[in-house]
Structure 1
Amino acid sequence: MTLRYDLKDGPGVVAECRDHTRRALDAWFGPAGAPDRQPVADALLLVSELVGNARRHGGAPYELRLDRTARALWVQVSDTSPRRPRSRGPHRADRPSGHGLYLLERLARQWGSVPRGREGKTVWFELDILPQAG
């Protein structure tokens, strides 16, 4: 199942994307989003980071796409800048910002960036929402 949201850049776009994601997780995986709340919190944090980074560094975010698999969530945020995300060096917890890519690397199963030519780029991540069957 896929949900797409056209975005209008502005100060409320990060909260709007978090709300879209929370509603989708509730609909797809149950009212709590998942039996374990941590994956839901991780998904909301990562969506906030991607959209916030697009606003600060990438250009205007213009689309949020959420894809559901049986146990995972795949999120894509498209923005108007062709610049790929890049780390500002080794992660330092004492910095007031610059934690987005570190969080993606730590929390997402995988993530990446795809150029969209004149339309900018899409940054994506995949996150396990339900525990893997053992």
Structure 2
Amino acid sequence: MSTTRPYSPGERGPESGAVSSSAVELTTQTRRLVLAGASGIVPAARDFTRQALYDWGWLPAATADKQAAAEDVLLVVSELVTNACLHAEGPEELRVACTGKVLRLEVADGGSGAPAPRTPHRAGRPGGHGMFIVQRLCLDWGVVRNAGGPGKTVWAELAAPA
């Protein structure tokens, strides 16, 4: 699990406040999808995220690298939502936020466990690959516990396509 980002989900961290006078402040666009009690939530989360990628200009992709970046985002969404379904009493909400350089995915759930890649990772073993995939595809990821109650938010950040 990442420990490089100790701030809460949705906050951009210390680098967001360190904008020099010559730098242009990036606008963060955020979308939220309530998943609690819904059916077919993994496909719904992928469709929701795909629409955001279209709206933000990631899709349609002009190059194979940009297409691969969008597919990575959709795969990570699937893995985070599936992990919440299987191990955390189901996801409550998906948040997708984009700045010019980073796309952040957050899945809030009511579970008490902490996701972690299986160590050692065994590629031939069925199941248990979700957080390994997240770790491999993302710039960073982590878990933030809800203050004063059960639950957590699992977040992951991916680089925007060049």
Which structure has the greater CA radius of gyration?
2
* Alpha-carbon offset, residue 9 of structure 1: 3.9
Which residue number in structure 2 is paired with residue 50 of structure 1?
A: 80
Say if 1:119 and 1:44 are closer, same or farther in 2 by CA, change over 3 A.
Answer: same
Contact preservation (8 Å) 1:58, 1:80: yes
Please tell me the root mean square deviation across aligned C-alpha atoms, in Å: 1.6
Give the TM-score of the pair, scaled to structure 1.
Answer: 0.90
Structure 1 segments of 4 or more deviating over 3 A? Answer: none
* Alpha-carbon offset, residue 105 of structure 1: 1.2
Which SS does the other structure have where 2:56 is aligned?
helix
Which SS does the other structure have where 1:44 is aligned?
helix
Structure 1: gaps of 5 or more residues: none
Which residue number in structure 1 is paired with residue 10 of structure 2?
A: none
**Percent identity of paired positions between Structure 1 and Structure 2:** 42
Output one character per residue of 1:20-52: Cα deviation in whole Å (capped at 9) or x when no partner.
000000100254156420011100001000000
Q: Give the count of matched residue pairs.
A: 131
Contact preservation (8 Å) 1:7, 1:64: yes
Give the TM-score of the pair, scaled to structure 2.
Answer: 0.75
**Residue identity matched to 2:117:** S
CA separation in 2, counterparts of 1:56 and 1:79? 11
Structure 2: gaps of 5 or more residues: 1-28
CA separation in 1, counterparts of 2:143 and 2:61? 26
More helix by share: 1
